[in-house]
């Protein structure tokens, strides 16, 4: 509920910032119909919002552009191709008066509920164009425009000293006059730039390319406050090709940056909402932790110990044992409970999308990346990231995961900026990661980083005393979901459930109960599960079944002793090798993790 409110507030803030921007901000749909029009657009084009919203974009462009505009819309809608998406280009616009004027357009696109939308940030560059043309015509005319231009204009040495500055620049930077600005600031990089290395980068690019456009950086004003500026500049050289000075044009883009940051926050909130909605749909797979077995009580004690800490937790266990439920309980009892728990199934992500899915990407990073996207680490900032099936992370990407776990920082795909996050990681796997390390399929350092607090979930067949309570609970949850009356769970039905070994664990139990509830009619609730010996038709089995009545019955205690002796015999024949070909687990026909749990439960010790 809170995230929905945050998204609404973010949208309201975006609209407020957009309306305060001097740039035109226009949003249109895939047909080219205008949906949003800010005050900057009114000032530039001369139309009020009510005159443009619902009208075609072509009303803002000269006749010669309209056919190409329509073809471009159709080409992007059908094939996703465009020549100017994500670029800043110079075009001509058409004012209400019919006057053509030069403009800069930065175009982006995104999809929402299968609808395609375009947003354009438009700047009137008439004065800049006039200034550039004036520079070429005459010094006298240049001086008049230089002093009257609304853009900040300066000339400076490569070392960073001002040679000249206009009133617009001194006003932009908070100084009374250009003379005060030039007398105060002796080194542009060190005194004006928040990050002096950005000025060094600017100078290197400028001298290499001679012209640079839309270079963005943060600078200090006279009062110490910070603003974002965008700068166009060129190098003035002498006849020998030596650099004489830089000519720069600055504009304040703080309003646009605030709008972009609010949009990014809104996108992140939407990502959190989307991930959380997925979690809500998948949550309740096992309900709460239900049972009375010693194994389950031990898990609950461990949750209580580790939840309040920031320790990384590795949950081990077969599929369907409730590893995700344990992760949710840890998050719910942690200091991060009011922040999101983001779940990601590592096995379900295509190999080539791993980095984008986890770390996010910026617009244009690859084909189809039409807007910035926050990845799962970004969405989980301040909260918990649950890595299910962590053993499926590709080996060549594991080093990047290790870096985020150790340093809490990463870069989005297509971006050099390092982002910092505060994320607690809970991982889960049904694999033996130690064996995966030995086999060269999992990094040892990542294994040690994840294995800070291992927590093992026993399979359901090893805690059958939990089945009565668990079945009753799941029956109630499922009846509520199916909107039907909850039938009685008889002792006979409970006995049937307890005789089955549940290879699919709690997930399989839930499915059996749901299927039984759907099929229950006048005859009452029944469960369709195979019983011991069902489905085997060999002559040997038939002969064995025929002689069952002649066999002597052994006690439960003797059965457990036989199972213990059989397990020890398998271990000794395999020379206490559990995993791999010829190991004790293979001889017994069970999973190695199951055998490890059985050895622990039975107290079997080598040589004991």
> What's the CA gap between 80 and 91, in Å, rounded?
22
* pLDDT given for residue 124 in this prediction: 92
The pTM of the full predicted model, rounded to 2 decimals, is 0.45
> Do residues 379 and 271 lie in contact, with contact meaning Cβ atoms separated by under 8 Å?
yes
Is 472 within the bounds of a domain? Answer: yes
Same domain, 390 and 424: yes
Helix axes 467-482, 491-499, angle to 10 degrees: 110
Q: Which segment of 59-73, 140-154, 303-317 scores lowest on mean pLDDT?
A: 140-154
Reported residue count of the chain is 608
DSSP state of 373: B
pLDDT tens per residue, range 481-508: 888 888 888 888 888 999 999 998 998 9
- Regarding whether 235 and 166 lie in a shared domain, the answer is yes
- Judge if 341 and 409 occupy the same domain: yes
The band of 570, judged by pLDDT with boundaries at 50, 70 and 90, is confident
- Average the pLDDT over 120-131 and give the result: 88
- The closest of 54, 21, 55, 59 to 38, measured between CA atoms, is 21
| Antiparallel, parallel or unpaired: β 226-237 and 211-220 | antiparallel
pLDDT of residue 52: 92
Give the pLDDT score at 484. 83
Whose tokens are 């646009």? That residue is 256
Can you read off the two tokens belonging to residue 244? 């004489």
Closest CA to 447 of 458, 429, 435, 434: 434
Task: Give CA–CA dist 511/526, Å, rounded.
Answer: 13
Give the mean model confidence (pLDDT) for residues 337-364: 85
Residue 17 lies in a domain: no
User: Does residue 62 fall inside a structural domain?
Assistant: yes
Per-residue pLDDT, averaged over 138-150, amounts to 62
What does the radius of gyration of the chain's CA atoms come to, in whole angstroms?
34
pLDDT of 10 higher than 80 = no
| Position 541 in a domain | no
Query: Residues 201-236, buried b or exposed e (16+ Cβ, 10 A)?
Result: ebbeebeeeeebeebebebbeeeeeebbbbbbbbbe
H or E element in which residue 190 lies:
helix 188-191
pLDDT at residue 456, rounded to an integer: 92
Kindly state whether residue 3 falls inside one of the protein's structural domains: no
**Residue 424 sits in the same domain as residue 403:** yes
pLDDT value of position 275: 52
Structure tokens at 571: 């271990």
Kindly report the average pLDDT of the chain as a whole number: 82
57 and 159 belong to one structural domain? no
Do 478 and 390 fall within a single domain? no
Total domains in the fold of the chain: 5
Rounded CA gap, 147 and 179, in Å?
13
Q: Given 123, 138, 169, which residue is the final one in a domain? A: 123
Q: Mark which of 123, 149, 184 sits at the end of a domain.
A: 123
Average pLDDT over residues 377-396: 90
CATH number at residue 301: 3.40.50.300
Please indicate whether residue 149 or residue 413 has the higher confidence score (pLDDT): 413
pLDDT in tens, 201-238: 998 888 888 888 889 999 999 999 999 999 898 998 88
Closest by CA to 318, choosing from 459, 450, 453, 428, is 459
553: which DSSP letter?
P
Question: Phi-psi region for residue 287, left (φ > 0), alpha (ψ -120 to 50) or beta?
Answer: left
Closest CA to 268 of 353, 381, 426: 381
Whole-number Å distance between alpha carbons of 53 and 344: 41
Last residue of a domain, one of 456, 471, 496: 456
276 occurs within a structural domain:
no
Q: What is the mean pLDDT of the segment spanning 58-64?
A: 91
**pLDDT exceeds 60 at position 542:** no
Domain-located, residue 15: no
Question: Looking at the structure, do residues 450 and 316 belong to the same domain, yes or no?
Answer: yes
User: Does residue 177 belong to any structural domain of this protein?
Assistant: yes
**What average pLDDT does range 329-344 have in this prediction?**
91
What number of CA atoms fall less than 13 Å from residue 281's CA on the CB side? 5
Spatial separation of the C-alpha atoms in residues 541 and 543, rounded to whole Å: 5
Containing 588, the helix (H) or strand (E) segment is: helix 584-588
Partners of residue 122 on adjacent β-strands: 24, 105
Same domain, 304 and 425: yes
pLDDT at 372 over 50: yes
- Same-domain status, 247 and 303: no
Place 361 in a pLDDT band, splitting at 50, 70 and 90. Answer: confident
Lowest mean pLDDT among 190-199, 287-296, 343-352, 472-481: 287-296
Q: Indicate if the pLDDT at residue 70 is higher than 90.
A: no
DSSP-based three-state secondary structure for 64: helix
Tell me, what's the pLDDT at 33?
A: 92
Q: What is the pLDDT of residue 45?
A: 94
> What tokens were used for 117?
């939308």
The verdict on 139 and 50 lying in the same domain is: no
- Mean pLDDT value across residues 66-76: 82
Q: Which domain holds residue 53?
A: 24-123
Residue 282 has a pLDDT of 40
Three-state helix/strand/coil letters over 253-282: CHHHHHHHHHHHHHHHHHHHHHHHHHHHHH
Co-location of 77 and 163 in the same domain: no
Is the pLDDT reported for residue 144 higher than 70?
no
Tell the burial category of 540 from Cβ atoms under 10 Å away from its Cβ (0-12, 13-18, 19+).
Answer: exposed
- Candidate from 52-61, 420-429, 537-546 with smallest mean pLDDT: 537-546
Task: Provide the phi-psi class of 29: left if phi over 0, else alpha when psi is between -120 and 50, else beta.
Answer: beta
* pLDDT per position as a tens digit, 298-331: 898 899 899 999 999 999 999 888 899 999 999 9
Same domain flag for 47 and 111 = yes
Structure-model confidence comparison of residues 501 and 137, the more confident one? 501
Q: Quote the tokens at residue 391.
A: 């053993």
3-state secondary structure 428-477: EECCCHHHHHHCCCCCHHHHHHHCCEEEECCCHHHCHHHHHHHHHHHHHH
Tokens of 364: 């244009």
| Mean pLDDT lowest among 22-36, 254-268, 506-520 | 254-268
Rounded Cα distance between 545 and 561, Å, is: 23
The pLDDT of residue 409 is: 87
Statement: residue 285 has pLDDT above 60: no
The pair of structure tokens assigned to 306 is 């580790």
Domain of residue 50, CATH code: 3.30.450.20
What pLDDT does 151 receive? 82
% of the chain surpassing 90 pLDDT? 25
């Amino acid at each position: 509920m809170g995230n929905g409110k945050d998204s609404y507030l973010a949208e309201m803030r975006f609209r407020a910032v957009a309306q305060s921007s001097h740039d035109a901000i226009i949003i249109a749909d895939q047909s080219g119909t205008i949906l949003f029009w800010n005050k900057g657009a009114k000032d530039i084009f001369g139309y009020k919002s009510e005159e443009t919203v619902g009208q075609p974009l072509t009303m803002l462009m000269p006749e010669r552009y309209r056919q190409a505009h329509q073809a471009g819309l159709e080409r992007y809608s059908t094939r996703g191709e465009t020549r100017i998406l994500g670029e800043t280009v110079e075009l001509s616009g058409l004012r209400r008066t019919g006057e053509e004027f030069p403009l800069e357009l930065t175009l982006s696109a995104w999809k929402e509920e299968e609808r395609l939308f375009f947003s354009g940030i438009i700047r009137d560059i008439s004065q800049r164009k006039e200034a550039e043309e004036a520079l070429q015509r005459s010094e006298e005319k240049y001086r008049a425009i230089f002093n009257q231009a609304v853009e900040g204009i300066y000339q400076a040495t490569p070392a960073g000293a001002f040679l000249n500055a206009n009133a617009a620049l001194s006003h932009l930077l908070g100084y009374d006059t250009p003379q005060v600005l030039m007398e105060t600031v002796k080194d542009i990089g060190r005194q004006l730039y928040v990050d002096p290395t950005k000025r060094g980068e600017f100078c290197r690019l400028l001298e290499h390319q001679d012209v640079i456009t839309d270079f963005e950086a943060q600078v200090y004003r006279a009062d110490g406050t910070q603003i974002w500026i965008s700068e166009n500049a060129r190098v003035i050289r002498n006849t020998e090709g030596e650099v004489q000075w830089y000519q720069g044009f600055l504009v304040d883009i703080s309003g646009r940056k605030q709008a972009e940051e609010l949009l990014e926050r809104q996108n992140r909130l939407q990502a959190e909402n989307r991930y959380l909605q997925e979690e809500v749909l998948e949550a309740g797979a096992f309900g709460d932790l239900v049972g009375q077995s010693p194994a389950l009580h031990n898990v609950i004690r461990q949750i209580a110990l580790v939840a309040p800490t920031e320790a990384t937790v590795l949950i081990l266990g077969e599929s369907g044992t409730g590893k995700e439920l344990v992760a949710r309980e840890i998050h719910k009892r942690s200091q991060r409970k009011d922040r999101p728990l983001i779940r990601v199934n590592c096995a379900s992500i295509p190999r080539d999308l791993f980095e984008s899915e986890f770390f996010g990407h910026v617009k244009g990073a690859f084909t189809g990346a039409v807007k910035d996207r926050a990845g799962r680490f970004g969405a989980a900032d301040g909260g918990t990231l649950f890595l299910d099936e962590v053993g499926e992370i590709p080996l060549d990407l594991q080093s990047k995961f290790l870096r985020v776990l150790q340093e809490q920082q990463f870069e989005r795909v297509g971006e050099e900026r390092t982002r910092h996050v505060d994320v607690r990681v809970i991982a889960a796997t049904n694999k033996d990661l130690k064996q995966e390390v030995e086999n060269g399929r999992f990094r040892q350092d990542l294994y040690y980083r994840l294995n800070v607090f291992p927590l093992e979930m026993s399979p359901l067949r090893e805690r059958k005393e939990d089945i009565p309570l668990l079945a009753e609970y799941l029956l109630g949850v499922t009846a509520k979901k199916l909107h039907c009356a909850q039938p009685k769970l008889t002792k006979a039905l409970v006995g049937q459930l307890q005789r089955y070994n549940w290879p699919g664990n709690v997930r399989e139990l839930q499915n059996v109960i749901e299927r039984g509830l759907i099929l229950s009619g006048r005859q009452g609730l029944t469960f369709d599960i195979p019983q011991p010996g069902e489905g085997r038709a060999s002559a040997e089995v038939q002969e064995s079944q025929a002689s069952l009545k002649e066999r002597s019955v052994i006690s439960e205690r003797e059965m457990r002793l036989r199972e213990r002796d059989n397990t020890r015999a398998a271990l000794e024949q395999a020379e206490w090798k559990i995993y791999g070909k010829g190991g004790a687990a293979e001889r017994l026909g069970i999973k190695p993790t199951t055998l490890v749990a059985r050895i622990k439960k039975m107290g079997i010790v080598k040589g004991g």
